[in-house]
């Protein structure tokens, strides 16, 4: 499953936000991101999507967070070695509802 196919609006939003922030290289990755899993923390406001396998002990020293400024909710990208690894999405019930249906 691709994030861009299951969540086309989110995919476009991510691309727009990354382009506005000047990170064209990450923006180009968005269309190819695979929906591997979701966060299973149980918080009712979390809709985090893993696009690379979740690490066992953390992402390591090449990890960085990129907070984006969406119109609603919060989005923070976890980037490892220049590749998007995780899309942390908070307070976006529309995405959470669909994500839970796709990955119960």
| CA-to-CA separations, 64 to 9, 52, 58, 73, 75, in angstroms, rounded | 25, 15, 11, 20, 14
What is the span of the domain harbouring residue 16? Answer: 3-102
Q: Which two tokens stand for residue 17?
A: 């936000």
Q: What is the pTM of this model?
A: 0.93
| Rounded Cα–Cα distance for residues 44 and 30 (Å) | 25
In the prediction, which pLDDT does 18 show? 97
The 10s digit of each residue's pLDDT in 30-64 is 999 999 999 999 999 999 999 999 988 888 889 99
Mean pLDDT of the chain: 96
Number of domains in the chain: 1
């Amino acid at each position: 499953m691709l994030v861009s196919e299951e969540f086309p609006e989110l995919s476009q939003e991510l691309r727009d936000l990354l382009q506005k922030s000047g990170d064209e290289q990450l923006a180009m990755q968005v269309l190819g991101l695979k929906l591997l899993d979701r966060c299973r923390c149980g918080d009712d406001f979390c809709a985090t999507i893993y696009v690379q396998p979740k690490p066992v002990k953390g992402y390591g020293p090449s990890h960085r967070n990129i907070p984006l400024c969406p119109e609603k909710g919060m989005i923070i990208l976890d980037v490892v070695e220049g590749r998007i690894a995780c899309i942390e999405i908070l307070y976006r019930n529309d995405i959470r509802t669909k994500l839970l249906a796709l990955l119960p």
